[in-house]
Structure 1
Amino acid sequence: MKHLRSISRRTILKRSVAIAAATLIVGGLSAPAGAIAAVPTAKGKSVQYVTFGLQFEYQVAMVDGIKKRAKDSGLNLETVDGKGDPNLQMTQALDAVSRKPDALLVDPVDAKLITAGVKKANANNVPVFMMENAPPEGKYDALVEFDNQAGGAMGADTVAKLVGDKGTVLELRGSVDSAQAQARHQGFIDRMKSKYPNIKVKSLNTEWNADNAYKMVLDALTQDPDIKGIFSHNDEMVRGVISALRQTNRLVPAGKPGHLFIVGLDGTPLALNRIRAGTQDASVGQNPVAMGSDIVDAIVAGFQGKPYPKSMHIEPVLITKANVDDPTLWGNFERKK
C-alpha cells in the first residue's frame, strides 16, 4: 500500500510538471493566460486630421472619402478645416497634437510651416501621416501623393496638341509656397521647353483662386487677344477663366472658330460638366478617393502592427470629351444615372 501511494505521488508530480511546461510553451514564460488572445486593433483609436481646405471640390471629395474609410475601420476621426491658410494650419496641427491623439494626419498647404506640428508630434510619440506634401524636416510614417510633375507634363502635351504646337498660352499657378504647385509648374515648363519651342508660356501666380484667375486672365486677354490656350493648376480656377472669357466675348464652345482651349487639373464634377458643355477641353485627373483610402489603410495597418507602404503615388489620367462619362472617374461618383 505504501508502495502504491509512493508511485501515485511520483506520477502526479510528473504530470504536474508536464502540464506546467506545456503551459509555458503555449502561453510564453511571462504572459498571463488572458494575454494570449490579445491582438492589436485600430478600433477606437483617435486620429486628428488637419485638412488642406474645404473650399475646393477636390478636397471635399478627399475628406468625405477619408471620413467614410475611417468610420468603416472603427477609427475616431476628428477633422479641422485648414481653409487653405498655412498659418492657420500650423496652429491647428499644434493644437491637434496637444489633444494627444493616437495618430496625426495632415494635408499641408505649406510643408515648411507644418514642420512645427510634425516635430511636436514626434516629440510626443504621435505617428504622423502625410498627404500630398511632405515636410522638409521631422519624421512621418507614410505619405500618399499625386505625381504632380507628371500631371504638369500631361497638361503641357494636351494644351500643345490643342493649339497646334504654336502660339501663346497661359499657365495659372497654384500657391508659390506649395510643393504641389511647384511640381506642376516644373512639369509643365520643362515639357514645353523640351518639346514645343514654338509655344510661348506666360505664367500667372493665381494662387489656386478663381477670383485671382478671373482678374489676371482678364488683364492678359486685354493685353494679348491672341492667346490660344490656358493650363490651370486646378479646375477651381477655371471658373474665373470662364468669367473672364464671357466678359471679353471670347467664350466660344469647343469646335467653333475662336474657341480658346482650356485644360484644368483635378477632374472635379464641375470640370466634367464643362467638358460635356464644350467650355473646357480637358482635365488632368487625380483620384482623391483612392488617395484617402490608401492613407487610412496605412494608419489602420500601423495600429494593427502590420506592414504598410511608406510612400504611395497616384498617377494622372487625361479626361476629355471621349471619356468624360467614365463611371470610374471620381467626378462622376455622385452623378445620377
Structure 2
Amino acid sequence: MTNHARTQNRFRRAAAGLALTGALAIAAAGCASGGSASAGAAAESDGSGIEGKRISYISFGQQYEFIVGLTTTLEDKLTEAGATVTTLDGKSDPNLQTTQVQDALAQQPDALIIDPVDPALMTAAIQKANQQGVPVFIVESLPEGVDYTSFVGYDNVAAGALGAQTLAAAINDEGTVLQLQGGEASKQANERKEGFDAEMEDHPNIEVRDLKTEWTAENANTMVLDAFTTDPGIAGIWSHNDEMIRGAVEALRHLGKTAVAGEDGHVVIVGHDGTPLALNRIREGVQDATVVYDAIEMGSLTADNIIAFFAGEDFPEDTIIDPFIADSSNVDDDSLWGNLPALN
C-alpha cells in the first residue's frame, strides 16, 4: 500500500468520527539534537492514563489554515481521550511563544506541545521545561540542544524538491519562475528552499527569482505585482505556503492575467500545504497543484504519542511525514486534509 493510500484510509476513519491511527508509511530517523528515549519516557510515566491530564499547546499561529487543521485534530483527539488542552496562539511571533511557554510552565501542566516559530529562540524555554520535568512534544521544527519526549516532523526538503519537479514539468522545463519564501528564520522555509533550489539545478533552462515574502499574502501581493510589472513573461510561481498564493493571485488579477490552466497565458502556480482554499483554486484552474503537508496526520500522530506516554506504552521518538501532490487528478479525494468538512 502506498503512503497516500494509508493516509486515505486513516482520514476516512477520522471523518467517520473514529480514532486516527499512526500507521502512515513514514520515515523514522534519529535526531542529532538528542532527546529522551520514548521507551524510557513511557516507562517513567505513572501509567494512570491521560484522563484528567492538563496539556498546554503553544501553536505556531492560528492565522494559517494548516495550523487550524493541526490544532483541531490535536484538541479533538486529546479531549476525547479525557485530557484538558489549553491552546495558545503563537501568532508567528517567537518572542510571544517564549513568554507563552513560561506562562504555561507556571501553571505546572502535565505536558507541553510546542510548534516553534523560530527553533533557536525556543531552546531556552524548552530547557526550562526539561528542568521542571515536564514532558515536551514537539511538532514541525526541532530545536537543538533540548530533550524531548517525541517529535513529529515533515520532510520539507523533499517537499521543496517535489514542488520544483511539479512546476518544471508544468512549464515544459523553460522560463522564469518566482519562489515565494517563508520567514527567513523559519527552518521549514529554509528547507523547502533548499529542496527546491537543489532540484532546479537539474533544470538549467529555468531561472528562479526569490521573493522574501515572509509567509504573508500581503507581501506576496506587492512583490508579485512588482515582479510581473518588470517581467510580464514570468512562467510560474512556487510558494512555500498556500496562504501567500492568495496575494499572488490578486496581483495577477490586477494585471489581467486571469487565464486558467489549459488556456494561453496561464501562469502556473504550485503551492504548499494543501489548504481548503488551495484545493478550491485547483478546482477553478487558478492554481495547478499543491504539495500536501498533512495537518491531520501530524496532529493525530502527536496525540497518539501523548496518549501512549501517559499509558506507559512505547511510541516512536522521531517521526517524519512524507509530502505528496494534490492536483486536478485527486483534488476531490476525501483523504486530503483540506477537504475535511469541519474546515469548509
TM-score norm. by structure 2 comes to: 0.85
Shift of 1:161: 0.4
Query: Are 2:216 and 1:209 aligned?
Result: yes
Identical pairs, percent = 47
Cα distance, 1:40 vs structure 2 = 2.3
Report the CA distance between 1:252 and its aligned residue.
1.2
Is 2:47–2:312's contact at 8 Å kept on the other side of the alignment?
no
Q: Counterpart of 1:78 in 2: which secondary structure?
A: strand
Unaligned runs of 5+ in 2: 1-45
Figure out how many residues of one structure are paired with residues of the other and give that number: 299
> So what's the TM-score if we normalise by structure 1?
0.87
**Structure 1 residues 139 and 39: CA distance shift in structure 2, 3 A:** closer
Look up the equivalent residue of 2:217 and give its one-letter code. A
Task: Give the equivalent residue in structure 1 for 2:37.
Answer: none
Partner of 1:219: 226
Aligned structure 1 segments of 4 or more residues deviating by more than 4 angstroms? none
The structure whose Rg is larger is 1
Report the secondary structure of 2:243's partner residue.
coil
What residue is the counterpart of 2:103 in the other structure? 95
Q: Does residue 1:132 correspond to 2:159, yes or no?
A: no
What is the root-mean-square deviation in Å for CA atoms of aligned residues?
1.4
1:60 is paired with a residue whose SS is helix
What 5-or-longer segments of structure 1 have no aligned partner?
1-37
AA aligned to 1:317 is F
Give the conservation status (yes or no) of the 8 Å contact 2:157–2:195. yes
Partners of 1:90 and 1:114 within 8 A in 2: yes
Q: How much has 1:137 moved relative to structure 2?
A: 2.0
Counterpart for residue 259 of structure 1: 266
For residue 68 of structure 1, give the secondary structure of its aligned residue in structure 2. helix
1:294 and 2:294 are equivalent in the alignment: no
Q: CA deviation at 1:335?
A: 7.8
Q: Is the 8 A contact 1:94 1:116 kept in 2?
A: no
Aligned to 2:165: 157
Per-residue Cα deviation, 1:186-237 (whole angstroms, up to 9, x for no partner)? 00000001x2011100011111100000001011111111110000000000
Q: Note the 1:1-337 alignment, pairs <5 A.
A: 39-193=47-201, 195-334=202-341
Report the Cα offset of residue 336 of structure 1: 11
Q: Secondary structure in 2 aligned to 1:237? A: helix
Q: Distance in 2 between matches of 1:258 and 1:196?
A: 22
Partners of 1:316 and 1:136 in 2: how far apart?
Answer: 24
Give distance in 2, aligned partners of 1:41 and 1:331. 32
Structure 2: how far apart are the matches of 1:39 and 1:173?
Answer: 44
Bigger RCO of structures 1 and 2 (CA < 8 A, at least 6 apart): 2
Q: Deviations over 1:71-98 (max 9, x none)?
A: 1111111111001111111111111111
Counterparts of 2:121 and 2:343 in 1: how far apart (Å)?
41
